[in-house]
Amino acid sequence: MNEDTTVQSLLYTFMKFNRGIWKQRKTEGRNPSEIMLLTALIRGTETERDPASVVCKISEYMEKGPTTKEQIEGLKASEISNLLRVKSPTITPVIRTLEEAGLVERKVDPDDRRVVRIKITEAGQQVVREVHREMMTTMQGLVEYLGEEDTKQLTLLLNRVHEYHDMVRKEKEERRRKEGSENLC
């Protein structure tokens, strides 16, 4: 197989995921950006970005409930946008939708009345529990289908894909930053 064919085959495979069952769909009546925001409120800013830490933090929360200051008091919109790597105006309508659905609430920070914190409600926690349960069931089925060895190999390869994309993203950000500082001169 020549290089072009390999590249095309890889592209086609990724495109199948985009069109297939993995396509971003609603879970528990919520779209992926809403689920990501709810889980960000649980994981907080202290959790590492790696998926294993995030899953561990969410599992711990499901078992014990809120234990950290951030989980109890909530996060600022700017902290949520940093966690999700989006600009604050992007999450504002998501927060509003979740608030209208009773899944999050806005609270004035008792230490600084200028600050508003977003906190997950019991109903929001229930949505995350159901999504977590559904995802674990789906992944368990995939492990059973692929077998232990293939699952480990798939996990290794997907982690490498993620590392590659993260590296490319950081390189682009660095180039933009350098280009921006050169334009200042």
Q: Report DSSP letters for 33-58, one per residue.
A: HHHHHHHHHHHTTTS-SSHHHHHHHH
With CA atoms as reference, report the closest residue to 99 among 86, 114, 116: 116
Is there a single domain that holds both residue 120 and residue 185? no
With CA atoms as reference, report the closest residue to 22 among 8, 32, 35, 10: 32
Is there a single domain that holds both residue 127 and residue 72? yes
Looking at the domain assignment, is residue 4 inside a domain?
no
The one-digit pLDDT tens for each residue of the chain (185 residues) are 577 888 888 888 888 776 655 555 667 688 888 998 998 898 887 766 666 777 788 888 878 888 888 888 899 999 999 888 888 888 999 999 999 999 999 999 888 899 999 999 999 999 988 988 888 898 999 999 999 999 999 999 998 998 998 899 899 989 988 887 766 55
Is there a single domain that holds both residue 154 and residue 142? no
Cα 62 to Cα 46, 135, 163: the distances in Å are 17, 14, 28
Is there a single domain that holds both residue 135 and residue 167? no
Looking at the domain assignment, is residue 14 inside a domain?
no
Q: Which domain range does residue 71 map to?
A: 22-146
- In this predicted structure, what is the pLDDT of residue 85? 84
- In this predicted structure, what is the pLDDT of residue 176? 87
DSSP helix/strand/coil, 104: strand
Number of structural domains, the chain? 2
